[in-house]
Every structure is written in C-alpha cells, then in structure tokens.
C-alpha cells in the first residue's frame, strides 16, 4: 500500500475502493500509516467528501479494527439510541430503562462531556458507587440479567476511531459529514445492534447549527446503518434551548428519576417517547408509533421503568438512595418584562464549564453538584423580577456566571412562537 497515492487520489476528488480504505485504516491502527499522513487524508475528506459507498467502507473497516459485542443467546432485539449531543439532554437515562421494561436489550456505550454539552457517563457518576468502566464481559452480563447497561467504551472497541478522533480534534478535521458518520456509526454498530435510533440535534446548542447540516448528517448515518444491516431511523430535534429543565450532572440525574416517576418536563418526555417508539416499531414490539408511545408510557405508569433503572444502577455498583449533593440555589431574575425570544444554549453550556460542571479539556475533574435549572422556555412571557434560571453553585461561583446566564436569555417586547421540537424524521425510504 502507498498511503501517499491514496491521499492524492482523494485530494483530487477520486473515489477510493473498499480495499484501499481498508489498507489506510488497518495501516493507521498498526502504525504503518503515520499521523501526518492520516491527518492529510482526513483533510482531503473534509474538502472532497466521500460517496455513500466510501462512507460505509470507512465505517466497516473502523468497526472491524476492534472487537464487537455479540449476543449469540439473545432471544430479544438489541437496540440503542445515539444523540449528537445537546444541553440538558439526559434522554438516555430514562429511555434505556423504559426500553428494557418493554423487553428490548440496551447495551449502551456512552461518552464523557467535552465542551458545552454534558456526557452521560459524568451524569451517572453523580450516583455514589456507579461504575462506568465495566469490562465487556461485565457489560454483557448486566444486559443478560437486567436488560440495559450504560457504560464507557473499552480500549478494544473501535481503536481506529479512538486514534482518528483524537487526531481530527487537533487538526481541524472534525467537521466532515462522512468522518462524523463513520466515527459515530462504527462505535454504535460495535454494540451488535438490531436497531438504532439517532437524535440529530440542530440549533444554537448543537454540533450541527443549521437544519441543512443536521439533515445531511441524519441521512448519511441512516444510509450507513441501513447498508450495514441495522434498522436505522433518525429524528432531527431542536437544540435552540436546553431540552430538559436542568443542565449539569447530579441535577440531570434527579430530573431523569423524576421523569421515570411520571414527573418529567414535557419536552424531555416528548423526545424520549418519540425516539423510544421508533425502536419499538423497528423491532416489531409495537405496530405503530402511537402504540409504541403508549407502551413506553405504561412502563412509567406501572413503575416498571423506575424499578428497571434502579436495577441497572445497582448492577453497576451504584446506590440510588445515597445522597447526590446539589450546590446551593441562586436565582437569576428578569430585569425587565417581555417574551423569551431566544436562549443562547452554547453560552449556558459555557457557564456550566465556568462553574466546574463541564470540561475545558480531556481529563478535567468535574464538580457534579453544580448546574442550572431553566425557569423559562422560548415563547414564555416573563414579568420583571421573575426567576429566569436557577444556578446551583456557591455564591461566589454563581456571581461569576450571573451575567453570562442573564445575557443568554434574550427578551423581546412582542410575542414569540415556541420552536418546533421534533423537526424531521429520516428513514431509509
């Protein structure tokens, strides 16, 4: 293999054959292809793109760079949900338990937060004792026994992505739809799934800021998943304001438990139900989306989902009854009356980083007790002196971000129409 030839072929807009992509990925993992060569290839992909077939090849060879979870004795379907990430998005916590209560198996591999959006593993670690570093054997055992698990990736899963993503991060090559597709899909497909639902976030607090980009990523991931034999559907959902009311770590776990007790905020529940229903329909557990939503709601009404969540937490070493400290509450009040026109969600994410609840760089220690609780949503009318956001932090930390948080909420004199939450549904048809 001559990596220089393959890089030049892509740079000039050529289409790489499956074997050529295999050579590059295998060579990169073995060390035969150097970082500088892979960075150059990634930049060629950023500039020239990749065809559907090339993207599927890249995904497949990244997936096969490591081990895959296998479920030879399973009699139910393995499913998962992936979100491209947004503030206050803790759908994974209630949804995993709700799906397992419907008889599906959820081997969810999740990540840590970096930048403005939180990571599922960090949130779960606010539950005392909760382990997110189970071995693959332990993970499979929890799925067999409980039906759902939420764990971190191991070194042996998709090593090509581990290496390539770190390289892309420092070479301005993250923003490429084929590279993002291969990165996300290789990790999800390594779970050995029958069906996958993707939540592609769109808006000021999302990775994809425009609807066009979000739809393009959704189509690319759905095509790739389908080509690789996994029933894949994507929903494009709004991220111009936090999804749930809370954003942080322990505060999001508390809201997830409230959701499982039937007391979740409407928007969080609407997205959770819509995503879950797709998986129930994809696997034939529900005959249509409405029936799927009813089945999911029943798991909350009859207490099964909350019991399942507790079972998963216990199986992963956590104690749901132990206190999860939340820092003191400090309210940010409206300085004028008006209608909430917009919420700078990224700025709220930055405020959480300032409070110590999010990471500036890999390895930063988090303060899991800090966070925000939104008191308003876009379109709400507010009076002067009304609380807009509660900041959970020491008074000193809260005053350091008070202006940031206050300025992130823009009020207008005229009424504002709330944005649509569920924007688009992308299937293989």
Our finding on whether 270 is near ligand URA (CB under 6 A) is: no
Q: Nearer Cβ to ligand URA, position 114 or 388?
A: 114
- Provide the token pair at 274: 């819509």
Our finding on whether 377 is near ligand URA (CB under 6 A) is: no
CA proximity to 181, closest of 291, 51, 281, 28: 51
- Residue 229 CB-density burial (10 A; 0-12 exposed, 13-18 middle, 19+ buried): exposed
Q: Nearer Cβ to ligand URA, position 208 or 247?
A: 208
- Provide the token pair at 407: 């300025």
Smallest separation, CB 208 to ligand URA (Å): 10
How many Å apart are CA 382 and CA 296, to the nearest integer?
Answer: 34
Smallest separation, CB 148 to ligand URA (Å): 21
Rg of the chain over all Cα atoms, to the nearest angstrom: 22
CA proximity to 54, closest of 230, 220, 231: 220
Our finding on whether 184 is near ligand URA (CB under 6 A) is: yes
Choose the stretch contacting ligand URA; rule: CB under 6 A; options: 4-12, 114-122, 125-133, 177-185.
177-185
Q: Nearer Cβ to ligand URA, position 112 or 308?
A: 112
* Cα→Cα distances 13→19, 46, 48, 49, 71, Å: 17, 11, 6, 8, 40
- List CB contacts of 417: < 8 A, sequence separation 6 or more: 379
Torsion of CA 126, 327, 336, 204, to 10 degrees: -20
Smallest separation, CB 211 to ligand URA (Å): 18
Say if CB 423 and CB 237 are below 8 A apart.
yes
Q: Nearer Cβ to ligand URA, position 117 or 254?
A: 117
**The only residue of 102, 148, 180, 222 in contact with ligand URA, by rule CB under 6 A:** 180
- List CB contacts of 367: < 8 A, sequence separation 6 or more: 327, 355, 356, 357
- List CB contacts of 294: < 8 A, sequence separation 6 or more: none
Q: Nearer Cβ to ligand URA, position 166 or 337?
A: 166
The pattern of x and - marking residues 123 through 162 that bind ligand URA according to CB under 6 A reads ----------------------------------------
How many Å apart are CA 133 and CA 152, to the nearest integer?
Answer: 6
Residue with tokens 């809260």: 398
Active-site residue numbers?
Answer: 82, 161, 168, 183, 187
Q: What phi and psi, each to the nearest 5 degrees, are found at residue 195? A: -145, 145
* Closest residue to ligand URA: CB criterion: 183
Choose the stretch contacting ligand URA; rule: CB under 6 A; options: 24-32, 33-41, 43-51, 180-188.
180-188
Smallest separation, CB 188 to ligand URA (Å): 9
**The only residue of 64, 67, 103, 165 in contact with ligand URA, by rule CB under 6 A:** 165
**The only residue of 83, 173, 183, 299 in contact with ligand URA, by rule CB under 6 A:** 183
Q: Nearer Cβ to ligand URA, position 174 or 304?
A: 174
Q: Nearer Cβ to ligand URA, position 165 or 422?
A: 165
Half-sphere exposure for 18 (CA within 13 Å, toward CB): 7
Smallest separation, CB 85 to ligand URA (Å): 7
Question: Residue count at the site for ligand URA (CB under 6 A)?
Answer: 6
**The only residue of 67, 167, 174, 410 in contact with ligand URA, by rule CB under 6 A:** 174
Query: What residues line the site for ligand URA (CB under 6 A)?
Result: 165, 174, 179-180, 183-184
């Amino acid at each position: 293999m001559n990596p220089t030839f393959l890089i030049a072929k892509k740079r000039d807009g050529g289409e790489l054959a499956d074997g050529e992509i295999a050579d590059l990925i295998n060579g990169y993992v073995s060390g035969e292809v150097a970082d500088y060569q892979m960075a150059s290839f990634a930049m060629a992909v950023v500039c020239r793109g990749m065809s559907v077939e090339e993207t599927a090849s890249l995904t497949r060879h990244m997936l096969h760079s490591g081990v895959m979870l296998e479920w030879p004795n399973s009699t139910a379907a393995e499913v998962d949900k992936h979100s491209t990430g947004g503030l206050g998005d803790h759908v994974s916590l209630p949804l995993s338990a709700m799906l397992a209560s419907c008889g599906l198996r959820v081997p969810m591999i999740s990540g840590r937060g970096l930048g403005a959006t939180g990571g599922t593993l960090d949130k779960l670690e606010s539950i005392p004792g909760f382990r997110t570093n189970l071995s693959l054997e332990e993970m499979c055992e929890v799925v067999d026994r409980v039906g759902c698990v939420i764990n971190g990736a191991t070194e042996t899963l998709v090593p090509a992505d581990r290496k390539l993503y770190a390289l892309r991060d420092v070479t301005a090559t993250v923003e490429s739809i084929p590279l993002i597709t291969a990165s996300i899909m290789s990790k999800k497909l390594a779970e050995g799934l029958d069906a996958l639902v993707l939540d592609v976030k769109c808006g000021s607090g999302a990775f994809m800021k425009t609807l066009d980009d979000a739809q393009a990523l959704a189509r690319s991931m759905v095509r790739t998943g389908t080509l690789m034999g996994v029933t894949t559907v994507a929903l494009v959902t709004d991220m111009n304001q936090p999804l749930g009311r809370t954003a942080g770590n322990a505060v999001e776990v508390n809201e997830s438990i409230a959701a499982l007790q039937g007391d979740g905020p409407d928007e969080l529940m609407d997205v959770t139900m819509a995503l879950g229903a797709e998986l129930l329909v994809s696997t034939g557990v529900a005959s249509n989306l409405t029936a799927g939503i009813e089945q999911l709601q029943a798991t909350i009404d009859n207490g099964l989902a909350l019991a399942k969540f507790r079972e998963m937490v216990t199986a992963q070493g956590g104690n749901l009854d132990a206190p999860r400290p939340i820092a003191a509450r400090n309210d940010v009040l409206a300085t004028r009356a008006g209608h909430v026109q917009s919420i700078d969600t990224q700025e709220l994410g930055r405020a959480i980083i300032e409070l110590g609840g999010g990471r500036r760089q890999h390895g930063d220690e988090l303060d899991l007790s800090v966070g925000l609780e939104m008191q308003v949503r876009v379109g709400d009318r507010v009076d002067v002196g009304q609380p807009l956001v509660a900041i959970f932090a020491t008074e000193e930390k809260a005053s350091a971000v008070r202006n940031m948080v206050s300025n992130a909420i823009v009020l207008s004199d005229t009424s504002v129409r709330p944005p649509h939450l569920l924007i688009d549904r992308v299937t293989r048809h």
